């Protein structure tokens, strides 16, 4: 049965999701309220995860002692966010998946200066696309994401789609000791393999939260993997679910959800038709041999009498068509590193370890002063490119390209239904092809979103001129 504590915890995670002075209108209903102006104070904070963690953990947060924030934007309307850095170290914010001007992309040394302690930075842009996105620090990322500087972005559609409820799930494992202190975040032996997994599984920073929805209703569930290591394999038990969107973009044809792999940085929007009163639905991760429910939804209240026939597809995002015929092909080999790091950093988060490389180059840190700093690929504005991501390692890598949606076209090893994405899972010995139009100028990072891999060499960038 549902305990009141669990229920309040779960609904609070969303209801109180507006941050700063922003409060959602109804804490119990998960109503989404777009707010266009934020002030985020990056600071040291405390969060009590409970369960096996006995004391509050020393986390980083954008607002004191609150849960992971959701940032709301409105498609086609200007958004602004003043980042104030009250941390003892520099930081920035990256708007993962949002298409914007390069100067707003939040990559220190590549698109902006780091925001030093005591400084502030104004991010301002107009999101073209609706959907589910991801905001996170991009400075000393492994540490700052692990400590909490990461959360969901919801860009509301121009025309509100017709769902009975909207539930956001931010999946993250924490690397904590029982006393609330953080464990080692980079264990070399593990960084050279799949990465270091967290030991406390949370959704919206809570252990197995339980939500309530009306029976026989259509519930949109937004899933974000903000964890920096784990690739989840999700199923829905107790009801049928369909996939609506991947990485913010509605898929061409809504299809049944099966067992879906979702890696760090990736998102999936699904819709669940909730069961009859009193029954519940579980969203389960089975990426390990001990599956666990990441969240559950209990049907309670008055039946909404919905049917699958009531479901309408989401409006498409305005992505420019590709010119695949004339596309130039660039190949990227994701491989083990050669033990040499280019441009080892002078002032931030470079690792002393190098385990990974893109096209034989290992960048763990970008040094803008370096005479040898050069893009992994130099592209021309408005041309369509096909990128071949070739994984020649025994690990799976979620490869993220900043600033663009690419069309995931095909794989040499499995059937891929073509779709738009900003992060793609490339499995061991797999080569996938993605295509995109290089229609915004600038230097755009491209890296593995398993952050230990990123930090130990699997980073590059493209230049569009």
Q: Which residues bind Cu ion (CB under 5 A)?
A: 397, 448, 450, 453
Query: Which residue number is nearest to ligand C2O in terms of Cβ?
Result: 96
In the chain the first and final C-alpha atoms are separated, in Å, by 59
All residues at 6 or more sequence positions from 434 whose CB lies less than 8 Å from its CB, including other chains: 386, 387, 389, 406, 407, 408, 409, 421, 424
The C-alpha atoms of residue 137 and residue 106 are separated, in whole angstroms, by: 8
* β strands within 307-379, DSSP E: 328-336, 356-358, 377-379
**Residue partners of 262: CB distance under 8 A and separation at least 6:** 171, 223, 225, 231, 232, 233, 234, 268
Name the minimum Å distance from CB 121 to Cu ion.
29
What minimum distance in Å lies between the beta carbon of 422 and Cu ion?
16
CA angle 416, 130, 253 (to 5 degrees): 35
239 close to 218: Cβ distance less than 8 angstroms: no
What the block records as the tokens of 312 is 């309408």
Among 6, 35, 96, 156, binds ligand C2O (CB under 6 A): 96
> Which stretch, 9-17, 184-192, 228-236, 444-452, contacts ligand C2O (CB under 6 A)?
444-452
Question: Is residue 131 at the binding interface for ligand C2O, with CB under 6 A as the rule?
Answer: no
Using CB under 6 A as the criterion, what x/- string covers residues 138-177 for binding ligand C2O?
x---------------------------------------
Residue closer to ligand C2O, measured from CB, 13 or 98: 98
- Binding-site residue total for ligand C2O (CB under 6 A)? 11
* Closest CB 181 distance from ligand C2O, rounded Å: 26
Minimum CB distance to ligand C2O, residue 110 (Å):
10
**Beta carbon nearer to Cu ion, 223 or 450:** 450
User: Contact between 455 and ligand C2O (CB under 6 A)?
Assistant: no
**Pick from 30, 79, 90, 94: which binds ligand C2O (CB under 6 A)?**
94
- For residue 159, the tally of other CB atoms under 10 A from its CB is 10
- What the block records as the tokens of 372 is 């040898």
Q: Which does 220 bind (CB under 5 to 8 A by kind): ligand C2O, Cu ion, none?
A: none
Member of 147, 402, 437, 453 binding ligand C2O (CB under 6 A) = 402
Out of 284, 445, 458, 462, the only residue in the binding site for ligand C2O (CB under 6 A) is: 445
Strands in 115-181 per DSSP E:
120-125, 131-137, 150-156, 165-174
Residue with tokens 């969060």: 47
Residues with Cβ within 8 Å of residue 113, at least 6 apart in sequence = none
Q: Which is nearer to ligand C2O, 211 or 387 (CB)?
A: 387
Residue 81 Cβ vs ligand C2O, minimum distance, rounded to whole Å: 16
E runs forming strands in 7-114: 37-47, 57-61, 70-74, 79-85, 93-96
Burial class (CB within 10 angstroms; exposed 0-12, middle 13-18, buried 19+) of 433: buried
CA 206 to chain centroid? 18
**Cβ 138 to Cu ion shortest distance, Å:** 17
- Rank residues 314 and 399 by Cβ distance to Cu ion and give the closer one: 399
For residue 86, CA distances in Å to 91, 94, 200, 206, 388 come to 10, 18, 27, 25, 41
Kindly tell me which of 294 and 451 has the beta carbon lying closer to ligand C2O. Answer: 451
Near ligand C2O in 100-119, by CB under 6 A: none
Nearer to ligand C2O, 94 or 419 (CB): 94
Least distance to ligand C2O, CB of residue 135, Å: 9
Please check whether residue 389 is in contact with residue 334, taking contact to mean a CB–CB distance below 8 angstroms: yes
- Residue 134 CB, shortest distance to ligand C2O, in Å, is 6
Query: In whole angstroms, how close is the CB of 149 to ligand C2O at the nearest point?
Result: 11
Q: Segment 259-278, which members bind ligand C2O (CB under 6 A)?
A: 265
Which segment (44-52, 62-70, 131-139, 199-207) binds ligand C2O by CB under 6 A?
A: 131-139
Choose from Cu ion, ligand C2O, none: what does 265 bind? Cβ within 5-8 Å by kind: ligand C2O
Whole-number minimum distance, CB 179 to ligand C2O, in Å? 30
The encoded tokens of residue 336 equal: 């083990």
* Closer Cβ to ligand C2O, 397 or 449, answer by number: 449
- Dist CA 187 CA 40 (whole Å): 31
Q: What length does the chain have?
A: 465
User: Which one, of 273, 279, 283, 313, lies nearest residue 298 by Cα?
Assistant: 279
Contact with ligand C2O (CB under 6 A): which of 365, 400, 419, 453?
A: 400
- The binding site for ligand C2O (CB under 6 A) comprises 94, 96, 134, 136, 138, 265, 400, 402, 445, 447, 449
């Amino acid at each position: 049965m549902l305990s009141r504590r669990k229920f309040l915890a779960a609904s609070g995670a969303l209801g109180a999701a507006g941050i700063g002075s922003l409060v959602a209108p109804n804490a119990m209903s998960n109503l989404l309220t777009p707010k266009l102006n934020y002030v985020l104070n990056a600071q040291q904070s405390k969060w009590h995860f409970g369960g096996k963690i006995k004391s509050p953990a020393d986390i980083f947060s954008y607002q004191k002692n609150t849960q992971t924030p959701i940032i709301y934007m409105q498609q086609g309307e200007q958004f602004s966010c003043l980042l104030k850095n009250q941390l003892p170290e520099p930081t920035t914010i990256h708007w993962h998946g949002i298409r914007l001007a390069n100067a707003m992309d939040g990559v220190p040394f590549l698109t902006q200066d780091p925001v030093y302690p005591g400084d502030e930075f104004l991010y301002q842009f107009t999101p073209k696309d609706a959907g589910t996105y991801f905001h996170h620090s991009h400075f000393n990322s492994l540490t700052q994401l692990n400590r909490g500087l990461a959360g969901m972005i919801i860009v509301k559609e121009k025309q509100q789609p017709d769902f009975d409820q909207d539930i956001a799930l931010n999946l993250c494992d924490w690397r904590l000791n029982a006393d609330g202190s953080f464990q080692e975040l980079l264990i070399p032996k593990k960084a050279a393999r799949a990465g270091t997994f967290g030991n406390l599984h949370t959704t919206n920073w809570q252990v197995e939260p339980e939500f309530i929805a009306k029976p026989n209703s259509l519930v949109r569930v937004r899933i974000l993997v903000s964890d920096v290591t784990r690739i989840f394999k999700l199923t829905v038990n107790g009801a049928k679910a369909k996939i609506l969107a991947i990485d913010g973009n509605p898929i061409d044809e809504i299809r049944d959800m099966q067992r879906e792999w979702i890696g760090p940085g990736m998102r999936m929007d699904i819709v669940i038709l909730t069961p009859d009163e009193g029954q519940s639905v579980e969203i389960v991760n089975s990426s390990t041999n001990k599956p666990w429910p990441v969240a559950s939804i209990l049907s309670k209240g008055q039946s909404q009498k919905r049917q699958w026939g009531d479901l309408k597809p989401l409006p498409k995002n305005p992505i420019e068509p590709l010119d695949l015929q004339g596309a130039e092909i660039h190949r990227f080999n994701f491989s083990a590193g050669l033990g040499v790091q280019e441009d080892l950093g002078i002032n931030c988060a470079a690792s002393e370890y190098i385990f990974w490389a893109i096209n034989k180059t290992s960048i763990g840190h970008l040094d803008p002063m370096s005479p040898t700093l050069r893009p992994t690929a130099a592209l021309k504005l408005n041309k369509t490119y096909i990128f071949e991501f070739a994984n020649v390692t025994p690990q799976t890598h979620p490869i993220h390209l900043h600033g663009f949606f690419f069309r995931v076209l095909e794989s040499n090893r499995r059937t891929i239904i073509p779709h738009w994405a900003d992060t793609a899972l490339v499995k061991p010995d797999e080569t996938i092809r993605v295509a995109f139009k290089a229609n915004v100028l600038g230097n755009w990072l491209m890296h593995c979103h398993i952050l230990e891999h990123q930090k130990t060499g699997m980073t590059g960038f493209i230049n569009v001129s």
